[in-house]
A and B are shown apart, each in its own frame.
Chain A
Amino acid sequence: MIPNPLRDPRDRRLPRVPEPCALVVFGITGDLARKKLLPAVYDLANRGLLPTNFALLGFARRDWGDQDFAELARDAARNAARTPWREEVWERLASSVRFVQGSFDDDNAFDELAATLGELEGSHGIGGNAAFYLSIPPAMFPVVLKQMQRTRMAESTPDRWRRVVVEKPFGTDLASSRELNELVDSVFSAQDVFRIDHYLGKETVQNLMALRFANELFEPVWNGHHVDSVQITMAEDVGIGGRAGFYERTGAARDVLQNHLLQLLALTAMEEPVEFSADEIRTEKLKVLRAISLPEDLGTFAVRGQYEQGWLAGQRAKGYRQEEGVDASSTTETFAAVRLGVETRRWAGVPFYLRTGKRLPRRVTEIALVFKRAPHLPFADTDTEELGNNQLVVRVQPDEGVTLKFGSKVPGSVMEVRDVSMDFLYGEQFTETSPEAYERLLLDVLLGDATLFPRNAEVEASWSVIDPLEEFWAGSTPEPYRAGEWGPRAADQMLAAEGRRWRRP
């Protein structure tokens, strides 16, 4: 930031506000743009976090005028905004909303887009800064990026920045992700590329770092001497919705395991960064991702499943193969569980159990550290029958918070120890200040803060973990599980083989 006499580091009331800039969204009529991006832009404006000179540009194939687009954007923002609706805030925002119509291979449309950007520079004073949000299928990336290169829209100069935001999936395997990274990096310089993993925008995920590195209490036990195993779960109760085409090609491992779960693992297992900066944190995360090892016996320790029809939350749910658009003999997995190791001094010998699935009993994401049993219990065996392992659980969603599970004496005349849990609910201590993940991430892009965005080396390291799994699974049929169950039996056996069991989240 250029020195401004009114800025004072002690003055924490003043918000971080980006420089004047434009946000250009490709695929503005898509689901993500309507459900997440537009509401996030409104919420930022409503909280006074957008710069004085800001413009929103939408690009899509539909034949619309600025007015139609403003209306769609208004409805979208109004439906999903987190903060109270204030018409005057939207009116101000709407005055700087533009729409450019065209297909991605249309040279004229991109020339018009470049011209509109130039025009906004004059009329809205955006100073030439722009962030391009690619809310489009990855197959379209090459065309759009080539167009941006041709019109020289992607060039950052000392006077202005140009950034690009990419959504997952970042490729489908190591080779394709490399290709994609090379393509994006050839058009934008590496530090201007922001890969969105919306899980990293969640408060609890950021709190994981505060929990670990701001406290004395947890770090001493955060290692293989005390931790028996780590379980990271991301369960969804929904099915695949209308995304059959995408999901058939992708599957749970590529859709969730490769990005969200491995990022959560990296944050859990990483060493302390030298300082709390984007580069240092990413360096530590990358070290962990590179240290991940796969089990030798993949047959036991890598399980994939597919839901069959069943009952979920009191309603009948179709099986995966019966979903619309899905092949009746599909072998795409909707559940994946794997046991990983992290080959570092801190984590040697500690298994990391990761699982994700659709049509599981409830929507929950959590990281659970299961501690070892106390080395010696001075009580009679019968006293501690109900005592389990101590656990530290970071709940990412819903009910963001932290739970500590430990043994406690049951009141009464006999010595009886039973597990109790101590809860920290985020919403109890700080309610208002939990912005939606997209809101936070969008603001970070405009501010140029890359702390919460994985960089391409991380993406590639993650694919090197997933590729051998996919290779092993190729040609096999996923284990069936009923919708509304916690995954196939094989997933339970995977832990039982080592004398453990899944925590019920």
Chain B
Amino acid sequence: MTTLWDTTGSAVVKELAAQRRTGGAVLSGVALTLVVVADEGRVTEAEDAATVAAEQHPCRILVVVRRQIEAPVPRLDAEVSIGGRLGPGEAVVMRMYGRLALHAESVVLPLLAADAPVVTWWHTQPPARLAADALAVIADRRITDSTSAPDQLAALRTRAQDYAPGDTDLAWTRATAWRATLTSAVDSVAGRRGDAVRVLGGRVEGAPGSATARLLAGWLSSRSGAEIDVVQATRHPGDTGVDSVVLQLDQDEEVRVHTDRRGGAVISQPYRPDATMALPDRSLGDLLGEELRRLDPDEPYAEALEVTTGLSGLTGRASLRSHVWVDPAEQDGRPDGPDGPVDAESVGDNSPHGAAPTVPPTSEGTDEVALAGEHDSPDPTAPEAVR
């Protein structure tokens, strides 16, 4: 592991290349790049989760921590490790200060694994419009977590308004185990009857303010066409915000699934004894791992989100976003041209606090630096002013 203090993006690229060369037989194939946007306070949590996910899906982890946007001088600190504390693959943790934080993509873009999908995960409050973060624009899949918002339902609405195919939410991932259990319970009724089952209604008992409970109810409604709502549970629901689910089926039958608080779910159905299935609380890393398993748009999620929020036409939206320049220093958020990506000129314009480290005029001599494996020392190619 090498830490580069007050460095530049190209020095990080070189260091990564140098470590790969000296590392011998290290993991060379990566299936994707995972960009993690985290707050300083939650960076350890995010790193742990990304490490678990990277063990399931080898990927290059790029952690971006944006700090002190108001700092007068932009600065980049980076920690480069291969097969170290952040799992078996390559990982770079970058802390960006000052105006650089608004141009994080300038550091991230050259670090992306070649022609591999990019997944961006916000372990922080994501922007209301994901397009405002260039790290969302470069991603094939974008992961947010509405359960971490102070108002989870408002967060869901925001996500629905901003939705584009390829967006997903960990609140939805938390519902997977419930969905699997419910599906399997209905399978078992259908298996007994030897005939199709219709869901006529039902309810989710849990915390009405929980995004996961809402999405679960939305999914049930979208699949069955029946009105299914979240009602306050008498017991305090667990992490997922769901305590039990009741489904009214045709032929006057009812299926009920409730948690047993010991990592299991009890399924009650007609003509069968109660059965217990595993329904463990899952770690953040596990949830993230599930998200990385498939990288195409998740239509069932979009449909559940539609029903939950009452918006329609989510699946039909364009999956590509174009970057929208929003400057937090200016309250109104001046758009940078008509939806166009930020070009080099305007970056300068928008950085009144001083120029970002400038790119060396030529790339000569860069290989020598990479070979020399410049460790913990200032980058000699960086301009004087930054050192």
* Partner-B contacts on A (CB < 8 A): 1-8, 10-15, 17, 19-20, 45-46, 48, 51-53, 86, 88-89, 92, 95, 122-125, 127, 158-159, 423-425, 427-433
Which A-chain residue is minimally distant from B173 (CB atoms)?
A13
B188 at the interface (CB under 8 A from A): yes
Residue A86 contacts which of B58, B184, B280 (CB distance < 8 angstroms)?
B280
| Cβ-defined contact, A429 with B194, below 8 A | no
Contact among B29, B183, B263, B300 with A10 in the assembled complex (CB-CB below 8 Å):
B300
Q: Does A430 lie within 8 Å of B57, measured CB to CB?
A: yes
> Could you list 23 examples of A-B contacts with CB < 8 Å?
A1-B187, A2-B191, A5-B224, A6-B182, A6-B186, A10-B300, A13-B180, A17-B183, A48-B277, A48-B278, A51-B184, A51-B188, A52-B277, A53-B188, A53-B273, A86-B263, A86-B280, A88-B263, A92-B264, A127-B188, A424-B29, A428-B31, A432-B55
Given contacts A8-B300, A432-B289, contact A125 B272 (CB under 8 A): yes
| B223 & A431 in contact (Cβ 8 Å cutoff) | no
Chain B nearest CB, measured from A299 CB (Å): 44
Q: Shortest beta-carbon distance, B17 to chain A, in Å? A: 17
Across the interface, which residues of A come within 8 angstroms of B192, CB to CB?
125, 127
Given contacts A431-B57, A432-B289, list 7 more A-B pairs with CB under 8 A.
A2-B196, A8-B300, A14-B180, A20-B188, A88-B263, A89-B263, A122-B273
Q: B57, B182, B190: which contacts A2 (Cβ < 8 A)? A: B190
Does B198 make an interface contact (CB < 8 A)? yes
Are B185's CB and A52's CB within 8 A? yes
Take A17-B184, A17-B187, A428-B27 as given contacts and tell me if A5 and B277 are in contact as well, using a CB distance cutoff of 8 Å. no
B89 to chain A, nearest CB (A): 9
Task: Find A89's partner among B278, B289, B294, B300 (CB 8 Å cutoff).
Answer: B278
Check if B264 sits within 8 Å of A2, measured CB to CB.
no
Smallest Cβ-Cβ distance to A2: which chain B residue: B190
With A3-B190, A5-B186 as known contacts, state yes or no: A14 contacts B277, CB within 8 Å. no
Tell me the minimal C-beta distance from A471 to chain B in angstroms.
48
Tell me the minimal C-beta distance from B223 to chain A in angstroms: 5
Asked if residues B278 and A125 are in contact (CB atoms below 8 Å), the reply is no
With a cutoff of 8 Å between Cβ atoms, the chain B residues found around residue A19 in the complex are: 187-188, 191
The contact string, 1 if C-beta is below 8 Å from chain A, for chain B 164-179, is 0000000000001101
> How far apart are the CA atoms of A5 and B299 in the complex, in Å?
16
Q: Which residue of B lies closest to A46 (CB)?
A: B278
B262 interfacial by beta-carbon distance below 8 Å: yes
Among B180, B271, B273, B299: residue with most chain A CB under 10 A: B180
Would you call B31 and A429 a contact (CB within 8 A)? yes
- Let me know if B278 and A52 touch, CB within 8 A: no
CB atoms of B176 and A5 under 8 A apart: no
A7 to B191, CA, bound (A): 14
**B330 on the interface (CB 8 Å rule)?**
no
* Residues of chain B from 179 to 219 with CB closer than 8 A to chain A in the complex: 179-188, 190-199
A399 CB, nearest partner CB in chain B, Å: 12
B3 at the interface (CB under 8 A from A): no
Contact of A5 with B31 in the complex, beta carbons under 8 Å: no
Interface of chain B residues 225 through 271 with chain A (CB within 8 A)? 262-264, 267, 271
Q: Return the contact of A159 from the options B194, B220, B224, B300 (Cβ within 8 A).
A: B194
B267 neighbours in A (Cβ, 8 Å): 52
Whether A125 lies near B273 (C-beta < 8 A) is yes
Interfacial chain A residues near B263, Cβ < 8 Å: 86, 88-89
Q: Is the interface of A mostly helix, strand, loop or mixed?
A: loop
Q: Chain B's nearest CB lies how many Å from the CB of A126?
A: 9
**Smallest CB–CB gap between B200 and chain A, Å?**
10
Residue tally, chain B, CB below 8 Å to A: 53
Which positions in B face A, CB cutoff 8 Å? 27-31, 55-58, 176-177, 179-188, 190-199, 220, 223-224, 262-264, 267, 271-273, 275-278, 280, 289-290, 293-294, 298-300
Known A-B contacts A124-B273, A425-B29; A6 and B195 likewise in contact (beta carbons under 8 Å):
no
Of B27, B183, B273, most buried by chain A (CB within 10 Å of CB) is B183
**Are the C-beta atoms of B55 and A5 separated by less than 8 Å?**
no
Chain A residue at minimum C-beta to C-beta distance from B297: A10
B199 to A428, Cβ gap below 8 A?
A: no
Name B183's closest neighbour in chain A (CB-CB): A6
- Complex Cα distance, B272 from A432, in Å, reads 35
Contacts A124-B273, A430-B57, A431-B57; is A4 near B190 (CB within 8 Å)? Answer: yes
Partner of A431, one of B56, B197, B262, B280: B56
**Which residues of A lie under 8 Å from residue B220 when comparing CB positions?**
6
Min CB–CB distance B230 → chain A (angstroms): 17
Contact B277 A92, beta carbon cutoff 8 Å: yes
Q: Closest CB-CB distance, B313 to chain A, in whole Å?
A: 17
Contacts of A1 in B (CB 8 A): 187
Shortest Cβ distance from residue A19 to the other chain B in the assembled complex, whole angstroms: 5
Q: Is the CB of A431 within 8 A of B58?
A: yes
Contact B57 A5 (CB under 8 A): no
B278 neighbours in A (Cβ, 8 Å): 45-46, 48, 86, 88-89, 92
Task: Give bound CA distance, A423 to B29, whole Å.
Answer: 9
Cα distance A11–B301 in the bound complex, in angstroms: 9
8 nearest interchain CB pairs? Answer: A125-B272, A432-B56, A428-B29, A2-B190, A3-B196, A6-B183, A52-B275, A11-B300
Tell me which residues across on chain B come within 8 A of A429, comparing CB atoms: 29, 31, 58
Chain A residues with CB below 8 A from B224, complex form: 5-6
Using CB atoms, name the residue of chain A closest to B29. A428
Of the listed residues A19, A45, A48, the one surrounded by the most CB atoms of chain B closer than 10 A to its CB is A48
The answer for the CA separation of A433 and B290 in the assembled complex, in Å, is: 11
A404 nearest CB across to chain B (Å): 13
Chain B residue numbers with a CB within 8 Å of A428 are 27-31, 58
| Distance to closest chain B CB from A180 (angstroms) | 32
Asked whether A5 and B273 contact (CB < 8 A) given A13-B176, A17-B180, A127-B191, the answer is no
Task: Report the separation of the CA atoms of residues A203 and B191 in the bound assembly, to the nearest whole angstrom.
Answer: 30
Contact A5 B28 (CB under 8 A): no
Complexed CA–CA distance, A166 and B20 (Å)? 48
Give A7 to B196 CA distance when docked, in angstroms.
12
- Residues of B within 8 Å of A51, CB to CB, are 184, 187-188
Residues of B within 8 A of A123 (CB): 273
**A237 to B194 Cα, complex, angstroms:** 51
Docked Cα-Cα span, A127 to B280, in Å, equals: 26
Least CB distance, B292 to chain A, in whole angstroms: 10
Distance in angstroms between the alpha carbons of A89 and B264 in the assembled complex: 8
Nearest CB in chain B to that of A52: its residue: B275
Contacts of A3 in B (CB 8 A): 190, 196-197
Q: How far is the CA of A17 from the CA of B118 in the complex (A)?
A: 31
- Tell me the smallest distance from the CB of B315 to a CB of chain A, in Å: 10
Chain B residue nearest to A19 (CB atoms) is B191
Instruction: List, in ascending order, chain B residues with CB within 8 A of A14's CB.
Output: 176, 179-180, 183
Q: Which of chain B's residues has its CB closest to A45's CB?
A: B278
Q: How far is the CA of A53 from the CA of B293 in the complex (A)?
A: 28
Which residues of chain A have C-beta atoms less than 8 A from B31's C-beta? Answer: 428-430
Decide: A5 and B197 in contact? CB cutoff 8 A.
Answer: yes
Q: How far is the CA of A46 from the CA of B199 in the complex (A)?
A: 28
Q: Of all chain B residues, which has the CB nearest A121?
A: B272
User: Closest residue to B296 on the A side, CB-wise?
Assistant: A12
Task: Name the CB-closest residue of B to A126.
Answer: B272
The chain A residue with its CB closest to the CB of B59 is A429
| A residues near B299, Cβ cutoff 8 Å | 10
Chain B residue nearest in CB terms to A10: B299
